Structure 1
Amino acid sequence: MQLYNKLSAEERRVLIRETGKERFTISFYQYHHINDPQFLRDHLFLNWNAMDVLGRIYVAPEGINAQLSIGADHFELFKTFLDSIPFLKHVRINIAREHDNESFLKLKIKVRHKIVADGLEDATFDVTAIGVHVDAITFNALIEDPDTVLVDMRNHYESEIGHFKNAWTPDVDTFRDSLDYIEEELQNHKRDKKLVMYCTGGIRCEKASAYYKHKGFKNVYQLEGGIIEYDRQVTEQGLENKFKGKNFVFDQRLSEKIGEEIIANCHQCGTPCDTHINCANDGCHLLFIQCESCKVDYKNCCSKECTDIIQLTFEEQKALRAGRFSSHHIFKKGRSEKLAFKKVPNDLEQ
């Protein structure tokens, strides 16, 4: 019985290109009390592997978080399978506006303590006691309400390339960093302001809405389906688009264009740019923003140092990495001192 992926990313890439079939990039989540996450994990893998599903899925006692791709010819079968699981019946599926057949190259389903790491150990906190979901029309109206505090629940490198009009974009590295920080900043407005939140697909806002209700906020709202669903509704209903820039996504595409503006800058030369890249040096792999000109000059690297390293032989690069802990660069997400034009923290940026 196969319960784990056996093909490498490159082997899978070849198969995808050979078949030439269209694939959809989708995501969904559901908070639900799951008694046996491992059993559900194995059940999902057996069925999804047979459907040629690829992606990154987390299962935990609090629910499921899935980002994946599937062949267009298997999409209806996939939805039917989800409906066969009671707590996933009619779950909202976010379908990417921009598809890439190679957005995911492996099927990875992992059991986690939580589907969204929050650092909370409060047994009285019920993640299913959520705030009010709002659609794009209501959300647009709330944005213009002077009694609204609109909060971007994503991390700094996500909001840097795109965010909503009038949004507060806290300068945080992780979701767990944001929870207490936002509560502290808004502690005097728990009853007199409307707390409205958004994120990529809704999963972080859903947990945050339950958390802030738990902490005494009276009027808590979240954008249903996040930026992905907002873009779909705005497009299909001809609504005013109040999102500026790109939506950061967690697959090989790294972003989707939502608004027309470019609101970020190349981290190396400062020209307007909103294209993320990972440094080509495997000993660095820093996530940062790079324009086409710097991409050529630095050979897809974040610095002259890394550019020099990737021109060494494989064995020379391996020797440089031996016994050297450099993976911390991965998590700096555009904050490295190597980047002359990295984002300057500004919580009040609009």
Structure 2
Amino acid sequence: MERYQTLLYYCYSPIVNAEDFAADHLKFCKSLGLVGRIIVADEGLNGTVSGTPEACKAYMEAIHVDERFAKTEFKIDEVDEPSFVKMHCRYKSEIVHSGLRDPQMIDPNRQTGKHLEPAEFLAMKDRDDVVILDVRSDYEHSLGRFKNAVTLDIENFRDFPAKINELAKFKDKKILTYCTGGIKCEKASALLLHEGFSDVYQLHGGIIKYGKEAGGEDFDGKCYVFDNRLAVDVNTVNPVVVSTCYNCGKTTDKMINCANPECNEHFTQCDECGTATDGCCSTTCQEHPRKRIYDGTGYYVKVPQPVNVKKVALL
């Protein structure tokens, strides 16, 4: 069986005419036979792409030869099949939407937390003067998180700035931020510094790199990823399952999207409930006329919406 690779990466580096760059970059990715999702903004790149090892190697070389992105770090996973179905490369205002009226106030190129390599993070995380802060969304940390981490009730990263006041009690501590691949921590740590937190760190390369280099020690559960795998194993040292089925409460680490496209909720669901509910989070969604066919994965390719039906973002 042919093996494939999935690349996770980001780079904060100014791009002139970023909208044109996005269109050209899409053509380039398609020419290599890659599939994936890339966000291009004036501030840089944020992407996950998947393809053959040869295509991925050519892509990484092309990124590194561009002086704007020469320092880009790629997290590489070996996969049995491509992690996406299509290739998307879109221009947006930010590569990680902060929800701030003036995003430039937290430019990671000017100020960000001190980067900790996985081994440094592991050595430091259990100290009494340290607080581990998860800056991801609630559906992500409900699936997996570091032991004793502070988690926030946020649906998207743009909700993070509104939670700063809740963190004020930790201003005398060393704050160790973490996220999936490191990109959200760049802005989260910058905002914490802007708001008067003096000792802020971030896990370089995020959970994914920590799993590869530190064995994922003390990361409980699985890590949510933004491709058709939905969740990946991280901890090979002391793994446990911390998530439960949304419907019955049984322990499970399977993350899905609701089969009703107008709900599309991210939630954990055991296989038994998945079969019983057709992959839906509720009876209402199960009875919805546009309910998608549940194939046991809980991953759905985006399909065209009927006329006069509100569009929703699908995985």
TM-score tier by shorter-chain length is: 0.7 to 0.9
Q: Post-superposition shift, 1:188?
A: 4.6
Identify if the C-alpha distance between structure 1 residues 202 and 124 changes in structure 2 by more than 3 Å, giving closer, same or farther: closer
TM-score of the aligned structures, taking structure 1 as reference length: 0.78
Q: Is the aligned partner of 1:265 residue 2:244?
A: yes
Distance, in Å, in 1 between the alignment partners of 2:92 and 2:197 is 29
Q: Is the aligned partner of 1:85 residue 2:61?
A: no
Identify if the C-alpha distance between structure 1 residues 311 and 168 changes in structure 2 by more than 3 Å, giving closer, same or farther: closer
Distance, in Å, in 1 between the alignment partners of 2:280 and 2:33 is 33
Over 4 Å off, 4+ runs? 309-314, 321-327
Q: Is the aligned partner of 1:144 residue 2:126?
A: yes
1:1-350 matches, within 5 Å, as 21-96=2-77, 99-122=79-102, 123-128=104-109, 129-181=111-163, 183-190=164-171, 192-235=172-215, 241-259=217-235, 260-309=239-288
Identify if the C-alpha distance between structure 1 residues 271 and 30 changes in structure 2 by more than 3 Å, giving closer, same or farther: same
Identity %: 34
Distance, in Å, in 1 between the alignment partners of 2:201 and 2:226 is 24
Distance, in Å, in 1 between the alignment partners of 2:155 and 2:92 is 20
Q: Post-superposition shift, 1:200?
A: 0.3
Gaps of 5+ in 2: 294-305
CA contact (8 A) 1:33 1:62 kept: yes
Instruction: Kindly name which structure, 1 or 2, has the bigger radius of gyration based on alpha carbons.
Output: 1
CA contact (8 A) 2:131 2:170 kept: no
Distance, in Å, in 2 between the alignment partners of 1:164 and 1:138 is 15
Q: Post-superposition shift, 1:109?
A: 0.6
CA contact (8 A) 2:260 2:291 kept: no
Distance, in Å, in 2 between the alignment partners of 1:310 and 1:167 is 41
Identify if the C-alpha distance between structure 1 residues 261 and 124 changes in structure 2 by more than 3 Å, giving closer, same or farther: closer
Is 50-59 or 69-78 further displaced after alignment? 69-78
CA contact (8 A) 1:152 1:167 kept: yes
CA contact (8 A) 1:100 1:253 kept: no
RMSD between aligned residues: 2.6
Q: Post-superposition shift, 1:130?
A: 1.5
Distance, in Å, in 2 between the alignment partners of 1:105 and 1:286 is 20
CA contact (8 A) 1:156 1:170 kept: yes
CA contact (8 A) 1:118 1:176 kept: yes
Distance, in Å, in 2 between the alignment partners of 1:282 and 1:43 is 31
More helix by share: 1
CA contact (8 A) 2:244 2:250 kept: yes
Identify if the C-alpha distance between structure 1 residues 187 and 78 changes in structure 2 by more than 3 Å, giving closer, same or farther: same
CA contact (8 A) 2:7 2:48 kept: yes
